[in-house]
Amino acid sequence: MKPTPSVSVALAGSGGAGVMTAGNMLLEAAALAGYYGLMTRTSGPQIRGGEAAAMLRVATFPTDGQDDRFQVLAAIDWQNVGRFAAELPLAPGSIIVGDPAQGEPPEVFTRSGARYLPVPLKQLAGQLAGAWPNMVALGVLAGLIGLSFESVEAAAKKAMKKGLEAGIAAARLGFSQASSLEGFSLEKPPSSSARWLITGNEAAGYGALRGGVRFVAAYPITPATELLEWLAPALAKVGGTLVQAEDELASINMALGASYGGVPSLTATSGPGLALMIEALGLGVAAEVPVVVVDVMRTGPSTGIATKSEQADLNIALYGMHGDAPHIVVAPNSLADCVAATAWAVGLAESLQVPAIVLSDQYFGQARAVVDAPVLEKQSLERLKAEGAEGYKRYALTESGISPMAIPGTRGTAYTADGLEHNEGGTPSSQTADHLAQMDKRARKVSQLDPGDAWASIEGEGETAVLTFGSCTGPVREAMARNGKGVKLVSLRLLSPAQPERLRKALEGVKRVLVVEQNHSGQFLRYLRSEYQLPGEVRSLRRPGPLPFRPEEVRQELLNWEETA
């Protein structure tokens, strides 16, 4: 078959079948062979034994978006895998690999017109002592997409602590099975460059450290837990610590306490946890204590679908606090950007003495990708600290709104940080003038922020603009790449404070705007409508999670619009 620049494969099975292990090895093999790639994951709600699928894309170009269709769906078994049908779209040219001993593939997959290729995974694995069917499937998949066996072997060596020989032998059996099948082939890999293999959660954790965070308090929650599990040992290495708190109320307040002590602090959570943290974030605003919350969004409301992605926490992140509470909201717009966006959020929080919320999501957080090594500058945004001084006023009304912050231990500048309204010195005050002056100050320091070019990613030129944020950016980028010219992308990274003048400039000459977001009510569209002037006709392309937008959907939307315009 003619080589293509991208191939997508999925490996599914019930829990314990090792699909994630095999998927990670396949991604690593692709990376070692010089390709870019991405693996996202989906799973049922079971703690153990539920169905799971690793969804991979191997490509000659950097991507963190899924393709329109999977070329191969392989399953160790078919138990409950049909539940993922919506997330695993196939096409007539696709191949379904299944073990005939596990029965026929569900009709929900075969009706796509995909070819079924039975491979006795279990029987083949059974020929080798200590081998498992997932490793046979790994070999089959590598063979079907034209990866070299050497790369599979190298990946297995990196990943497997025990059973390596049997594993490699099993993969080899699968690989040779694939050689007799008509599969797919990838174009030659691009020339080599410095790359990382990283998940969005690891990226956000690393970004936090690069931003200067040395204290983290957190409560476990899907899909943010891996971020915390990465940070726990990493913080210890850089002289910091992670405290597991009794709940999210405690974690945000611990972070505020540590930050009040002068140590840049962060917590990570998902929607239900963010909801619990909101009161304390208001304290951070009023008492001017920097803190960062990474919200790895999952579907809501309430417990929602804990394991699946949605961009529906935008409203609470922007507007959740009571009172007028100016703060920062930042959204990474690629998996790799989780590093820079989180580091930036730490810098903004520290330099403006304000809470910052980072809106990541399950899609980024739990996806692993081969990315070009991010180029990170040294953190230059730092907290303005008070030197010991006569007549120190913690909440002094400065021109920028930023007042020097005294750190406990500093002589002569002791003050009480307070969520009560206060005067310049920090003494509680219920006077109208103090309230107005402090409200103005807190608003001023956030609104005077000059984010430079970092506020958005602006790509392409055209009379049609796509406005989006977060993990919807990948599919839009790819749709634009396929469509050729005529479309401009504006993917917002700084959601609060809004940058109306910058967007106005970015949209000069634009006649229509497509707003792309992954939630039910159009939270991003409403936000844009309230904060910005949008030129010309505005359309909304949106749906709730967990299905990611496919590039072709976005492209078709743009094409149809241009034809009817």
Partner 1 sequence: MNAPFAAAALQPKDFKSGYKPVWCPGCGDYSVLTGVTKALAMLELRPENVAVVSGIGCSSRIPAYTNCYGFHGVHGRALPAATGLKVARPELTVLVASGDGDGYSIGGNHFLHACRRNVDLTYIVMDNHVYGMTKGQPSPTTEPDWRSKLAPGGTGLREFHPLVIALASGANFIARGFSGDPNGLAALIAEAVRHPGFYFLEVLSPCVTFRPEQRGWKEAVHPAPVAPTDDPGRAARRLMTDDGFNIGVLYKGSRAPFTGMAAAPTDSPEDLECLFRL
Rounded Cα gap, residues 359 and 493, in angstroms:
10
d(CA 348, CA 364): 22
Separation of alpha carbons 561 and 565, rounded Å: 6
Nearer to partner 1, 280 or 359 (CB): 280
From the list 237, 312, 350, the residue with the least C-alpha distance to 518 is: 312
Instruction: Give the nearer residue to partner 1 in terms of CB position, either 53 or 218.
Output: 218
Pick from 348, 410, 356, 420: nearest CA to 379:
348
Whether the CA torsion 470, 472, 475, 480 is positive or negative: it is negative
Is the peptide bond preceding residue 500 cis, with omega within 30 degrees of 0? no
Closer residue to partner 1 in complex, CB, 178/287: 287
Residue 227 vs 465, nearer CB to partner 1: 227
Structure tokens at 34: 């010089």
Written as one letter, the residue type at 504 is: R
The residue written with tokens 């602006």 in the block is: 458
Least Cβ distance, residue 263 to partner 1 (angstroms): 4
For the chain, the distance separating the N- and C-terminal CA atoms, rounded to the nearest angstrom, is: 38
- φ/ψ bin of 327: left (φ > 0), alpha (ψ from -120 to 50), beta (otherwise): beta
Nearest distance, CB of residue 419 and partner 1, angstroms:
6
Residue 452 CB, nearest distance to partner 1 (Å)? 23
Closer Cβ to partner 1, 186 or 339, answer by number: 339
Contact between 491 and 524 (Cβ < 8 Å): no
Nearest to 86 by CA among 55, 117, 49: 55
Residue whose C-alpha is closest to residue 546's, from 526, 519, 525: 519
CB of 426 to partner 1, least distance (A): 8
Nearer to partner 1, 167 or 284 (CB): 284
Q: Which is nearer to partner 1, 224 or 235 (CB)?
A: 235
- CB of 443: closest distance to partner 1 in angstroms? 21
Instruction: Name the residue nearer to partner 1 (CB basis): 416 or 560.
Output: 416
Whose tokens are 């619009």? That residue is 561
Query: Cα(285)–Cα(326) distance, rounded to whole angstroms?
Result: 7
Minimum Å gap between C-beta 266 and partner 1 is 11
We find the least distance from the C-beta atom of residue 368 to partner 1, in angstroms, to be 10
| C-alpha to C-alpha distance for 5 and 184, rounded to whole angstroms | 11
Neighbours of 432 (CB within 10 A): 8
With 0-12 / 13-18 / 19 or more C-beta atoms within 10 angstroms meaning exposed / middle / buried, residue 314 is buried
Q: CB of residue 221 vs partner 1: minimum separation in angstroms?
A: 16
Q: Which is nearer to partner 1, 214 or 526 (CB)?
A: 214
| Alpha helix positions (H), 180-246 | 200-211, 225-237
> Nearer Cβ to partner 1, position 108 or 384?
384
Pick 260 or 532: Cβ nearer partner 1: 260
The rounded distance, in Å, linking the Cα atoms of 380 and 348 is 10
CB 290, CB 259: distance < 8 Å:
yes
Q: What's the min distance (Å) between Cβ of 238 and partner 1?
A: 5
Tell me how far, at minimum, the Cβ of 397 lies from partner 1, in Å: 20
* Radius of gyration for the chain, computed over Cα atoms and rounded to the nearest angstrom: 25
Name the minimum Å distance from CB 418 to partner 1. Answer: 4
Distance of CA 368 to the CA centre of its chain: 10
* 162 versus 411: smaller Cβ distance to partner 1: 411
Q: Which residues bind partner 1 (CB under 8 A)?
A: 31-32, 194-198, 202, 206, 209-210, 214-215, 217, 234-241, 243, 245-247, 249-251, 253-263, 265, 279-280, 282-283, 287, 370, 373, 406, 408-420, 426-428
Of 101 and 407, which has the nearer Cβ to partner 1?
407
In this structure, which long-range contacts are made by residues 239-243, counting pairs with CB atoms below 8 Å and at least 24 apart in sequence? 239/214, 240/209, 240/213, 240/214, 240/215, 240/216, 241/214, 241/215, 241/216, 242/215, 242/216, 242/217, 242/218, 243/215, 243/216, 243/217, 243/218
Minimum Å gap between C-beta 258 and partner 1 is: 4
Q: Which is nearer to partner 1, 263 or 547 (CB)?
A: 263
Kindly state the smallest distance separating residue 565's Cβ from partner 1, in Å: 44
- As measured in angstroms, the least distance from the Cβ of 356 to partner 1 is 17
The Cβ of residue 378 has, within 10 Å, a number of other Cβ atoms equal to 6
Identity of residue 380: S
